[in-house]
Every structure is written in structure tokens, then in C-alpha cells.
Amino acid sequence: MTYQRLKSIIFCSLFSWNSFCLIFGVIGVALTIWAMFICNWNEQVSVKWIALQFVVFLYIVVALIKALYETCNKQYIECIPIEFDQETRTFLIPSNEYLDYYSMVSIVQIKNKFEIDFGTGYVSNIQKGFIQITVISLKVDDKQLKELMKNDSILLNKLRIKITYKYEGIK
């Protein structure tokens, strides 16, 4: 258990945006120092070393752009709630790697291919197979609220939990 957790922390942190920036900086410094030792600064700089540094630089830039693209796409992952608990006002959704503790989420309802704002919430608990979303506010009518309290499967299948959070300003 401890080995698996340590492995997941190292693997996830190694491929994060911050670690790519750190690796990029370290490689740049290392290549600069390396160039100082292999080149004589009083003579012409060898084209092969510049080409090698350029290829390595392009490889790192492509990897960073790919990581940035994947990071931007993580925001639009949607989850379908499984169950709603009316006592604690929480949704239960399947576990995924994109939600973390206290992440703000938007709850939307799909009606005729449109997304209608249903409410807002935050991640309150992460279990082994499930995540609990505590509801901050709901924008529903009485009929939808009754269906939600009964855990109506038709309504739950129309709901989506989105990682992006819509800021409505101070009222």
C-alpha cells in the first residue's frame, strides 16, 4: 500500500507542469555548463553542438506543449452523479483523477442539448471508488427538487458534474 502510494505520488509529480518547467531549467543549465567544457570560447563554436542543443530544446518544447494541452483538456472532464443524499446535500460520483479535495465544481443539467445551470458545489471527501460533492447552492424548481430527493435515475442521468466553476460575482 505504501509503495503504491509513493509510486503514484512520484509518477504524478514527475509529469506535472511544474516538474516539466523545473526539468527544462535544469537541462538548460546543464547544457550551458557542458558547452563551456567541450567548446573553446576563443575559437568558433562547433555547429554540431548547437544542432544537438537545438534538437534537445525542440524535444523539450514539444513535450511541454503536449503537457499544456493535456492540462487544458482536464478542465472539461464531466462526471455523471450516481446518487444524491438529501441529509448531507452531497452527490456521489465515480472516482477520477481530476478532482481533488475542495475543488469547486459546477452542476449542470442537459436539456435538449443545452447545459442549464443546476447548482454549484465542492469536493468534500474522496473515497476509494467514489467522490462526494457537497452542494453549496441549487437553482431548481420544486418538481426537480422532489425528483432529486427521490434519487430519480432519469434526472441523475441528465446531470453533469463539471470541474470548471462559473463565478457569478458578489451579490
Which of the given ranges, 2-16, 75-89, 92-106, 128-142, has the highest pLDDT on average?
A: 128-142
Evaluate if residue 135 carries a pLDDT over 70. Answer: yes
Task: Answer yes or no: are the C-beta atoms of 82 and 92 closer than 8 Å.
Answer: yes
Query: Cα separation of 118 and 161, whole Å?
Result: 10
Please give the average per-residue pLDDT across 97-126, as a whole number.
Answer: 86
Percent of the chain with pLDDT over 90: 1
pLDDT digits (tens, 9 = 90+) for 50-86: 778 778 877 877 777 777 676 666 555 567 778 888 8
Evaluate if residue 3 carries a pLDDT over 50. Answer: yes
Which one is predicted more confidently, 107 or 169? 107
Evaluate if residue 170 carries a pLDDT over 60. Answer: no
What's the pLDDT at 39?
67
Identify the weakest region by mean pLDDT among 22-36, 63-77, 107-121, 151-165.
63-77
Banded pLDDT at 18 (limits 50, 70, 90): low
User: At 111, is the secondary structure helix, strand, or coil?
Assistant: strand
- 78-79 and 83-85 beta bridge pairing: unpaired
Banded pLDDT at 1 (limits 50, 70, 90): very low
What's the full length of the chain, in residues? Answer: 171
Query: Cα separation of 77 and 97, whole Å?
Result: 10
